[in-house]
């Protein structure tokens, strides 16, 4: 199943827009870890962390299963002055993808309009309004 990278950027932008109105002086870090057993009976562990600091959000995830370790990280930055969003994702194979976009208040007020360009030049847009 392929995911649209532009839509992932949009979702990140929406999350970061929340930060615009809730900026705190100190970074916020949350995370967790645990263990699991796959359907095949293989045991594994996982760790995840999420840090938000002003207009920057960083997520890191790692899974250890069957003697193998897999790590994924994502860095998203919002320039509040221009509404520009930049996202970089590094996946377990070491491949890095980037996407960029812009976030602006919806013309009708009460929401945000997002334009994004993902990898391979794919573009997308959305207007999100609160319920």
- Taking 70 as the pLDDT cut, the residues of the chain under it are 1-25, 106-110, 119, 131
| Distance in angstroms (rounded) separating the CA atoms of residues 127 and 106 | 7
Structurally, the chain folds into a number of domains equal to 1
Whole-prediction pTM value? 0.61
* pLDDT of 2: 47
Q: What DSSP designation does 109 have?
A: S
| Distance in angstroms (rounded) separating the CA atoms of residues 126 and 14 | 10
> In b/e form, how buried is each residue of 24-49, taking b as 16+ CB within 10 angstroms?
eeeeeeeeeeeeeeeeeeeebeeeee
Q: Which tokens is 88 given?
A: 């970089």
Range of the domain at 20: 5-128
């Amino acid at each position: 199943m392929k995911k649209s990278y532009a839509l992932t950027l949009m979702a990140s932008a929406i999350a970061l827009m929340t930060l615009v109105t809730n900026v705190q002086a100190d970074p916020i870090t949350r995370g967790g870890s645990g263990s699991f057993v796959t359907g095949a009976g293989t045991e594994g562990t996982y760790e995840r962390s999420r840090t938000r600091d002003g207009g920057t959000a960083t997520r890191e995830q790692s899974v250890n299963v069957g003697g193998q370790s897999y790590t994924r990280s994502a860095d998203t930055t919002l320039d509040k002055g221009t509404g520009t969003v930049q996202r970089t994702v590094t996946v377990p194979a070491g491949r890095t993808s980037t996407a960029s976009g812009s976030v602006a208040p919806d013309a009708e007020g009460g929401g945000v309009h997002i334009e994004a360009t993902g990898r391979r030049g794919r573009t997308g847009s959305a207007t999100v309004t609160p319920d």
